[in-house]
Amino acid sequence: MKVLHVHRIGGIGGSERHLLTLLPALAERGVDVRFLGLDDPARAPEPFYDALAVPYERLSAPHDVDPLLAWRVSRAVRGFDVVHTHLVHADVYGALGARRLVSTKHNDDPFRAGAFRYVERALAHRASRVIAITDALARFQVDRVGLPREKVEVIHYGLDDLPQAWGANPPPSLIPDARVLLAVCRLEPQKGVDVAIRALREIDDVHLVVLGDGPQREQLQRLARELDVSVYLPGRVPDVAAWLRRASVLVHPARWEGFGLALLEAMLASLPIVATNVSSIPEIVVDGETGLLVPPDDPSALAAAVNRVLADPGDLGANGLARAQAEFSVARMADRTLAVYERALR
Q: Which CATH superfamily is domain 180-327 in?
A: Glycogen Phosphorylase B; (3.40.50.2000)
Say yes or no to pLDDT of 64 above 90: no
Place 270 in a pLDDT band, splitting at 50, 70 and 90. Answer: very high
* DSSP state letter for 182: E
Diameter of the chain measured on Cα atoms: 61
From residue 282, alpha-carbon distances to 199, 278, 294 in Å are: 21, 7, 10
Is 145:139 a contact under the CB 8 Å cutoff?
Answer: no
pLDDT tens readout for residues 148-157: 999 999 999 9
What's the mean pLDDT in 24-34?
A: 97
Residue 178 to residue 198: CA distance in whole angstroms: 19
Say yes or no to pLDDT of 315 above 90: yes
**Residues in CB range of 214: below 8 A, 6 or more apart:** 186, 187, 188
Is 286:303 a contact under the CB 8 Å cutoff?
Answer: no
Place 276 in a pLDDT band, splitting at 50, 70 and 90. Answer: very high
From residue 247, alpha-carbon distances to 164, 235, 276 in Å are: 17, 16, 19
Separate counts of helices (H) and strands (E) for the chain? 14, 13
pLDDT tens readout for residues 169-188: 888 877 777 899 999 999 99
Q: What is the residue-averaged pLDDT of the chain? A: 93
User: Fold identical between 2-158+329-345 and 180-327?
Assistant: yes
pLDDT at residue 170 in the model: 85
Closest CA to 186 of 25, 308, 15, 334: 15
pLDDT tens readout for residues 103-138: 999 988 787 878 889 988 998 899 999 999 999 999
Q: Which CATH superfamily is domain 2-158+329-345 in?
A: Glycogen Phosphorylase B; (3.40.50.2000)
Closest CA to 320 of 311, 309, 331, 304: 309
- Domain residue spans of the chain: 2-158+329-345, 180-327
